[in-house]
A and B are shown apart, each in its own frame.
Chain A
Amino acid sequence: QSALTQPRSVSGSPGQSVTISCTGTYSDVGIYNYVSWYQHHPGKAPKLLIYNVSERPSGVPDRFSGSKSGNTASLTISGLQTEDEADYYCCSFADSYTYVFGTGTKVTVL
């Protein structure tokens, strides 16, 4: 199972919006609505931001939103804040009860 494809980096100024794409195949993102997104500050535990493509756990700000079209899922961060600078990973349930993570995207707040 190959890793889902994400851009290596995206950047934006405080208050702007950025969108991270996550491209998979028909064996994962394309067929399952079980895409999750994680924020990972190096040296810390990853944090769940989005599950089931677009659902937010309680406590996650509504600045974080998710969507999916075909084989590509997306995470949008609106109203970018300095503390949003981190690595972001998508993850999808895949065939044969496995999971596949994305390649990761570094978000830089300019």
Chain B
Amino acid sequence: EVQLVESGGGLVQPGGSLRLSCAASGFAVSSYDMHWVRQAPGKGLEWVSALGTAGDTYYSGSVKGRFTISREKGKNSFYLQMNSLRAGDTAVYYCAKVFCSNTGCYDALDIWGQGIMVTVSS
């Protein structure tokens, strides 16, 4: 079964760091663009970051310079290292896989994790 499972969330103080993990099953994360999307309490979805198959990385303006997306060789997972956390980063974080069909890959996300809560508070 194709599946994504997030881990590593929790409560952290402002200015602190947290590393989210997203473990994949049923496919290889190295073969697809992978994304992080978040949803603050009572708010809508917000795109956070993407990791291309070539290791290229992309970030929203609100996290650029503070967050780092990465993969690790030998592990079918990818990560989001979050530094200098702020109250505004409080959200449910989802990892997601780019949608691909037999005609190619597209700018859309078809497999999502269930999400993990990150709370930034003193």
Contact = CB atoms under 8 A, between A and B. Distances in A.
A104 B45 contact: yes
Contacts of B37: 46, 101
Given A46-B94, A48-B109, A99-B107, A40 B45 contact: yes
Contacts of A13: none
B45 A89 contact: yes
Nearest to B57: A97
- Provide the main secondary structure of the chain B interface: strand
B99 A103 contact: no
Contacts of B101: 57-58
Interface residues of B, number: 24
A34 B115 contact: no
A38 B45 contact: yes
Nearest to A102: B44
B114 A52 contact: no
A40 B94 CA distance: 12
Given A101-B47, A104-B44, A45 B114 contact: yes
Nearest to B64: A98
A44 B114 contact: yes
Contacts of A103: 44
Contacts of B46: 3, 101
B31 to A, nearest CB: 18
A103 B109 CA distance: 17
Nearest to B114: A45
Which one of B45, B109, B113 has the greatest number of beta carbons of chain A within 10 Å? B45
Interface of B: 35, 37, 44-47, 50, 58-61, 94, 96, 99, 101, 106-110, 112-115
